[in-house]
Amino acid sequence: MNSVKAPPGDWDCKVLLSRIPKNGEPCHETFELALDAPIEHWGQEYAPDGLVIADARFASANERILAVVSVRAAFRLPCSRCLRETGVEAAGELKYLFSLRPARDSRDTGGESAPEEDGDVDVIQVDSFQAELDVTQCVWEALLLSLPEGALCKPGCKGLCPICGRDRNEGDCGCRDDDLDPRLAVLRDLDV
């Protein structure tokens, strides 16, 4: 099965700019998005287990739009210790600032149009002729950043035996771990 490394082409997360009130009142849009293949991230594959729910809230003032993008989704992936398939929830939220103001003139910035900044926040420029705001990439970023680095099937997972590979959650395999690195042998005698 192929894995997904970019937002699927059928994801359509757009809102009409005319729907966002200019007086700062919030506007809300929910997107239910399907993933047909696993996401490849953190060196592993996250198999989707249902829809990705994206919730976008917009507020506009002074020719700027604040977008708060929240995502939640369920995935299946191997336990980090015993490799059993386990379910994991991913949920996260990111904020984006869009500007409807025209980009600064290139004459003011030495020949290149400079991106607008607001302190530590990068401002995403929106062309004034656009009728809608596309937050598909924002939803994808929020989803990727919400994925856990790993998952455990249960908090006390004992993992696999490093000698025979048996799942220690199913019982003791009888292997002895006497092959201690001689440089660490002194640690065995410590009373802790």
Give the pLDDT score at 107: 47
* Same domain as 140, residue 162: no
* Same domain as 76, residue 133: yes
The stretches of 16-166 forming alpha helices (DSSP H) are 136-146
Specify whether the CB–CB gap between 71 and 7 falls below 8 A: no
**Is residue 113's pLDDT more than 60?**
no
Any domain includes 4 = no
Average confidence (pLDDT) over 5-24 = 89
What residue numbers bound the domain in which 170 lies? 158-192
Start-to-end Cα distance in the chain: 49
Any domain includes 97 = yes
Q: How open is the CA angle 20-21-23, to the nearest 5 degrees?
A: 145
Give the pLDDT score at 78: 94
Q: How open is the CA angle 3-152-51, to the nearest 5 degrees?
A: 45
Any domain includes 1 = no
Average confidence (pLDDT) over 121-131 = 82
* Same domain as 54, residue 141: yes
* Same domain as 48, residue 135: yes
* Same domain as 163, residue 153: no
Query: Looking up tokens 């917009």, which residue turns up?
Result: 58
Specify whether the CB–CB gap between 85 and 76 falls below 8 A: yes
| DSSP letter, residue 42 | T
Any domain includes 30 = yes
* Same domain as 101, residue 30: yes
- What residues contact residue 90 under an 8 Å CB cut-off, 6+ apart? 46, 71, 72, 73, 74, 75, 143, 146, 147, 148
Residues 177-186: tens digit of each pLDDT: 666 677 877 8
Global pTM? 0.79
Identify the bridge partners of residue 29 per DSSP, sorted by sequence position: 56
When comparing pLDDT for 128 and 6, which is higher? 6
Any domain includes 2 = no
Number of domains present in the structure of the chain: 2
* Same domain as 162, residue 91: no
Residue 161 corresponds to which amino acid? Answer: C
* Structural Rg of the chain based on CA atoms: 25
Average confidence (pLDDT) over 84-100 = 94
* Same domain as 173, residue 84: no
Distances, alpha carbon 79 to alpha carbons 3, 50, 86, 169, in Å: 19, 19, 6, 12
